[in-house]
């Protein structure tokens, strides 16, 4: 089975042309030196990563690896309200324009993240006083402006992010819930569809991948939307994982109950954090998680895209948000591929018949 038994014991970057020289041991290894995006194309899977503006602007090699390996990108922060909607009637589009243009120049698709979230909101919004109607007008203006600007150029939007709390209920600590009430979820999808009828519209969340109380709540929410005729196309599984993770029956069952509703899934924010300093065995264990998740997405017909949250350990949210852990991504801080990279490569190569 692809993605198990990582047989790559040595890999190094050749000095020229970014070629990778492999020595392969063990059985049934299919990893090769084709970039991930080339291997993924054969399976009609989008493979991508989140992009941070700092290195995107400053580091040519960061941009080169991004364009070489991935055929879809998502902004780590640039599309969030705090970055893009800087005054009640003021928007900042330099960064998002640069990302979308880069994607087009390099034949990559774009995921938009995110239109409605309770975090990373601008001060003018969080410290203002708004009636329900004003809040609806603000939400509509935001979605019409941002989605409309990139209509036809963004393949999928995370329309609503993390609306369900860890207790399985709609978060009441969200400004949108407080100002509008539970209807804000359906409204956001309708506004997004109105602004770009071609874009796939997703609900995105964390810890709702296997079968558990939270994924039951996500399922109930999206089923209700589907039943009500709200334009929703898919569910994003963030998958910020702890090292040691493995795919189980629950993941397949959850993917398939969503498929039965007519919904896609995408793995939207994959990383696998490990205690620092990381060890070689830990990075091999991490590789199994990456291989497993990749093989899973390849095997489930409704899994359309797999994106990691960043791609190099030099730029990852993990060390700051989960203190004492890190090294969560497939490339190391010098942009050299790690065992996790080769596990993804092997799973994709196995599926593509290369």
Active-site positions read 162, 269
The binder of ligand XIL chosen from 77, 82, 106, 207 (CB under 6 A): 77
**Shortest CB 84 distance to ligand XIL, Å:** 13
Segment 99 to 158, residues that bind ligand XIL, using CB under 6 A: none
Q: Does 83 bind ligand XIL (CB under 6 A)?
A: no
**Shortest CB 19 distance to ligand XIL, Å:** 31
**Residue number with the shortest CB distance to ligand XIL?**
317
CB nearer ligand XIL, residue 130 or residue 245: 245
CA distances from 47 to 80, 88, 253, 282, 336 (A): 22, 35, 23, 24, 18
Exposure on the CB side of residue 36, measured as CA atoms within 13 A: 32
Q: Does 81 bind ligand XIL (CB under 6 A)?
A: no
User: CA-CA-CA-CA torsion for 226, 151, 144, 115, nearest 10 degrees?
Assistant: 60
Name 243's bridge partners.
none
Q: Measured between alpha carbons, how far is 147 from 158 in angstroms, rounded to an integer? A: 11
Name 307's bridge partners.
48
Contact 10, 24 (CB under 8 A): no
Structure tokens at 133: 């109607």
CB nearer ligand XIL, residue 296 or residue 317: 317
CB nearer ligand XIL, residue 233 or residue 269: 269
CA distances from 52 to 33, 58, 68 (A): 26, 10, 17
Secondary structure (3-state) at 309? coil
**Shortest CB 240 distance to ligand XIL, Å:** 6
Q: Does 317 bind ligand XIL (CB under 6 A)?
A: yes
Q: Does 238 bind ligand XIL (CB under 6 A)?
A: yes
Q: Does 308 bind ligand XIL (CB under 6 A)?
A: no
CB nearer ligand XIL, residue 270 or residue 298: 270
**Shortest CB 139 distance to ligand XIL, Å:** 18
Q: Which of 346, 270, 202 is nearest to 50 (CA)?
A: 270
Q: Does 76 bind ligand XIL (CB under 6 A)?
A: yes
User: How many other β-carbons are positioned within 10 Å of the β-carbon of residue 39?
Assistant: 27
Q: Does 161 bind ligand XIL (CB under 6 A)?
A: yes
CB nearer ligand XIL, residue 38 or residue 318: 318
Q: Measured between alpha carbons, how far is 32 from 39 in angstroms, rounded to an integer? A: 9
Q: Does 237 bind ligand XIL (CB under 6 A)?
A: no
Residues near ligand XIL (CB under 6 A) are 76-77, 161, 238, 269, 317
């Amino acid at each position: 089975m692809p993605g198990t038994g990582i047989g790559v014991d040595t890999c190094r970057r050749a000095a020229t042309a970014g070629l990778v020289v492999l020595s392969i041991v063990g059985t049934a290894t299919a990893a090769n030196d084709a970039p991930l995006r080339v291997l993924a194309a054969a399976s009609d899977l989008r493979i991508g990563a989140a992009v941070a503006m700092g290195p995107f602007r400053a580091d040519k090699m960061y941009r080169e690896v991004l364009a070489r390996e991935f055929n879809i990108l998502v902004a780590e922060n640039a599309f969030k309200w705090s970055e893009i909607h800087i005054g009640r009637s003021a928007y900042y589009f330099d960064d998002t324009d640069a990302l979308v243009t880069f994607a087009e120049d390099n034949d990559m698709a774009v995921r938009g993240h995110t239109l409605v979230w309770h975090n990373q909101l601008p001060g003018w919004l969080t410290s203002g006083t708004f009636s329900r109607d004003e809040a609806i007008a603000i939400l509509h203006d935001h979605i019409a402006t941002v989605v409309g600007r990139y209509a036809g150029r963004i393949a999928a939007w995370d329309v609503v992010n993390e609306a369900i709390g860890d207790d399985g209920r709609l978060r009441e600590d969200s400004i949108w819930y407080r100002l509008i009430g539970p209807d804000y979820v359906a409204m956001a999808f309708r506004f997004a569809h109105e602004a770009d009828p071609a874009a796939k519209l997703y609900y995105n969340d964390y810890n709702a991948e296997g079968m558990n109380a939270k994924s039951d709540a996500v399922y109930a929410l999206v089923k209700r939307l589907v039943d009500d005729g709200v334009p929703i196309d898919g569910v994003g599984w963030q998958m910020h994982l702890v090292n040691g993770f493995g795919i189980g029956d629950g993941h397949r069952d959850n993917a398939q109950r969503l498929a039965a509703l007519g919904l896609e899934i995408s793995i939207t924010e994959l990383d696998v954090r490990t205690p620092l300093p990381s060890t070689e065995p830990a990075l091999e264990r991490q590789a199994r998680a990456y291989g497993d998740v990749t093989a899973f997405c390849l095997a489930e017909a409704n899994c359309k895209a797999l994106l990691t949250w960043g791609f190099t350990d030099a730029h990852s949210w993990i060390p700051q948000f989960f203190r004492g852990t890190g090294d969560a991504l497939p490339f190391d801080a010098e942009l050299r591929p790690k065992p996790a990279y080769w596990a993804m490569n092997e799973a994709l190569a196995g599926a593509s018949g290369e």
